[in-house]
Amino acid sequence: MYIFASFEQSALLEIAISDLTRLGLTEKHILAVPLQKTTRQVTVFDKVYRADGFSVLDGAALLGTVGMLLGVVYGSVYYLGPIICGLLGLLSGAVIGLAVDWVITTRNIKSEERSNPIPVMLMVRCEVAQAEAVEKILEEHQALGLARHSNEALTPSPNVKDLGKQK
């Protein structure tokens, strides 16, 4: 029987492993693998099939609108006129908004990466009689998720050829 559990890397994981060894499981029955974190790249445009939840164009649209409005209002006083000043306000507001939103989004992503602990996958090989006790220990030590897998599913069926023995 195989039992899989996911943990945050903390002292609770170490205590859970020591409790499992007290249950009679040895080091060859327990495997803990820390997962690598993936890095996110900020994209300006979200696509239909890939949206990361961070939109950089919101600030550009907001400040572009405000810049255009101020350009039209104050453009009637200046020599260039309201249309040219409105377009200049739109362009400058959009560029400033894009830059500010880009900085804020990248800072949020970096702080989110620092605040999330590294997840660890724990695999325990045990007898069927020990499975309930192992799951109870893992749940007591705040496992994020648990899964049970029987050994029977790992044995190949007689119809499948062993590719390692072919010559």
CA distances to 3, 83, 102, 121, 134 from 127, in Å? 10, 79, 53, 20, 10
Low-confidence ranges of the chain (pLDDT < 50): 160, 163-167
- Put simply, whether the predicted model's pTM sits higher than 0.85 gets the answer no
What pLDDT digit, counting tens, does each position of 133-158 carry?
889 988 888 888 888 888 665 555 55
Q: What is the per-residue pLDDT for 65?
A: 93
Q: What is the per-residue pLDDT for 127?
A: 87
Q: What is the per-residue pLDDT for 40?
A: 61
Q: What is the per-residue pLDDT for 113?
A: 65
Q: What is the per-residue pLDDT for 88?
A: 94
Q: Which residue has the tokens 């300006």?
A: 44
Q: Which residue, 47, 61, 71, 69, is CA-closest to 95?
A: 61
